[in-house]
Structure formats: structure tokens, C-alpha cells
Amino acid sequence: METRKLGNSGLKVSAIGLGCMGMSFSYGPPADKQEMITLIRSAVDQGVTFFDTAEVYGPFTNEELVGDALAPIRDKVVIATKFGFDLSGPDNRPGGANLNSRPDHIRQAVEGSLKRLRIATIDLLYQHRVDPMVPIEEVAGTVADLIRQGKVKYFGLSEAGAQTIRRAHAVQSVTALQSEYSLWWREPEAEILPTLEALGIGFVPFSPLGKGFLTGAFNAETTFGSDDFRNKVPRFNEENRRANQALVDVIRKFAALKQASPAQVALAWLLAQKPWIVPIPGTTKAHRLHENIGAARVQLSATEIRDLETAAAAITIQGARYPEQAQKMIDR
């Protein structure tokens, strides 16, 4: 697989990474650990070098999974994880946990992540959500200290607004921003992408397949398990899924022309936006992993991109992308 650099940092990763969250968290019961270890190692065999996790996924169990899977091949991969939630309370889910990016908590979180991931240095450390109670300069300064200590290599932000990105970058170079971006969530194009380009920061889109919706695997009648996060996402209620199916239909038409799958077209579109964009689709299935990796070989011409964007822009996507409580954690 081709590699890409995340902005001006020099951090080189595979053009498509692997988001590991869903293996342990958010989309139903955790998958079998040994099967997921096999899947992660298969990803490496197919050219993936970039793996994404966070302490809150599980919590903690996803980092342990990633650490166990990648320990034998640590020198071949880039591991990204995140801090930013206080998981000491009774409700340790992202929607219910308190934000906490105080310097002492960041240091504590990093020590825990290093142990669970079985590594000496975190390649890319993100602030998971901006904490309005802690100045971003303090957060960046703390991570800068951790970089000097050799515990972290690169600093990232997640779901941060343009002003926050600039303030953090002035203290410690930000290597990557991780936020949602896909054909059904294009808000980053207005302000975030120009900011990243100006500062030389890479972009790592999560949910590049719209939490699975853009694969075409779901319709209005699809039901999700009681512990699947999508049950709480307004964009996934039955009425909105029915309306949003129009976007999937558009992607399907382009996929047929390219002899590719809808997922591959959706990912290829992202890759075509900027050379410093690296999506991290997640999966628990070997055939989906292979399919997603294959997107790196799908080339869209300038005309195809324009036609796809024009058709997609004619569709008004229905429903918020997060429940109200989680929406409040998005920095503007």
C-alpha cells in the first residue's frame, strides 16, 4: 500500500489505517479477542501500518488488544491512542464520562496507555476531546514535556475547532487532527481543512464510511443490538436512514461504474481530497478489511470526483451525527 505523510511532521503511515474501537466497544458486544488479534495482524500483512485506539474504548480493553496484537511487530507499525476522559467514575462511557485534560491526568493516562499497549513510546497521542476547563496551551505544553521525555513522539487533537488547533500548534506542533469526515459529513471542508493545510497538519478522518452506512449494508429496516451506539445517533433512526439512503444510491452508481464497492468509492473519494488525509475505517470482519484496503487502488478522475460531489450535494442528509450529550463535547 502507498504511504502518506501526516502534514509536515514527517510521520509516515499507510494511506489507509485501521480504527480498532469497534473490536471492543460501541458497536455491540466485544468481538473475540483472538480473532481480532488475527485480524489486526492480517492488516499488517496487507500493508496497514497505522492503528488507532484510545483508553476509553472498553474502557482500556481495546488498548490491551492492540498491544497484544502488535507486540511482535512493534517496529513495523504506528500506534495512535488518546487521553481526555476521567474514567474513575461509575459512568465511564464517552457520553457520560467527564472530560479531564489536566496535566496530572494526562501524565497518568499516558502511563496507563504505555503499559496496556506494551510499548515504550506512543507514536501519536491525541487529546480525545477538547476540555473547556483546561487551556489548550496547558495541554500542549504537557504533551511537549512527554515528548521531551521520550514517552510520546507526536501530538494530535480530535474534534478540535480551528482556533483551538492554532493555539495548540503555537505551543507544540500538532501532527494530526482526527475528526469525522466523509461524503455524509463534509463540514470540515469549510474551516478545518484550510487551517490544517496552512499549518501543515495531517487529517485522520474517523467514521469515513459513516459508521457503516455508506457501505450500503444497512437500510431503514435494519435493526441494531441494544448495546450498539448507533441506536442513539439521530442520523440512524429509521426515518432518517430512509431519507439518507439516497446518498448510498448515488455512491452505488459510481461504484458500479468503477467496478468497486460503495465503501471503496467512499474511501477513494476521501483519499483524493488531499495527499495528507489518512482515513481509519474500522471493522471486525476479514472480508471488510480486505475491501477497505482495496480502496487505495481505486483512482477517481477529476471529472468523477466532481460528478460524485455534485450528486451528493443535491441530497440533504437528515439527522444529527451525535446524540445531544456527545454533541456538546465538540469544540467549535
Q: What is the DSSP string of 237-265?
A: SHHHHHHHHHHHHHHHHHHHHHTS-HHHH
Q: Is residue 176 part of a domain?
A: yes
Q: Is residue 98 part of a domain?
A: yes
Q: Is residue 266 part of a domain?
A: no
pLDDT tens for residues 188-244?
999 999 999 999 999 999 999 999 999 999 988 999 999 999 999 999 999 999 999
Q: Is residue 248 part of a domain?
A: no
Q: Is residue 186 part of a domain?
A: yes
**pLDDT band per the 50, 70, 90 thresholds, residue 329:** confident
Q: Where are the beta strands (DSSP E) in the chain?
A: 3-5, 12-14, 18-19, 50-52, 78-83, 85-86, 98-99, 122-127, 152-158, 174-180, 202-206
Q: Is residue 30 part of a domain?
A: yes
Q: In the chain, what is the greatest distance between 2 CA atoms, to the nearest angstrom?
A: 54
pLDDT at 220: 87
Annotation says 154 is catalytic = no
Q: Is residue 50 part of a domain?
A: yes
Strand 122-127 to 152-158 pairing: parallel
pLDDT at 97: 61
Residue range(s) defining the domain that contains residue 188: 3-209+273-298
Whether pLDDT at 151 is above 50: yes
- The length of the chain is 332
pLDDT tens for residues 48-105?
999 999 999 999 999 999 999 999 999 999 999 999 999 886 544 444 468 999 999 9
Q: Which of 27, 57, 181, 322 is catalytic?
A: 57
Query: How many domains, in total, are found in the chain?
Result: 1
pLDDT tens for residues 274-320?
999 999 999 999 999 999 999 999 999 999 999 999 999 999 999 99
Q: Is residue 53 part of a domain?
A: yes
CATH code of 54's domain? 3.20.20.100
Nearest in space to 278 (alpha carbons), one of 19, 13, 82, 81: 13
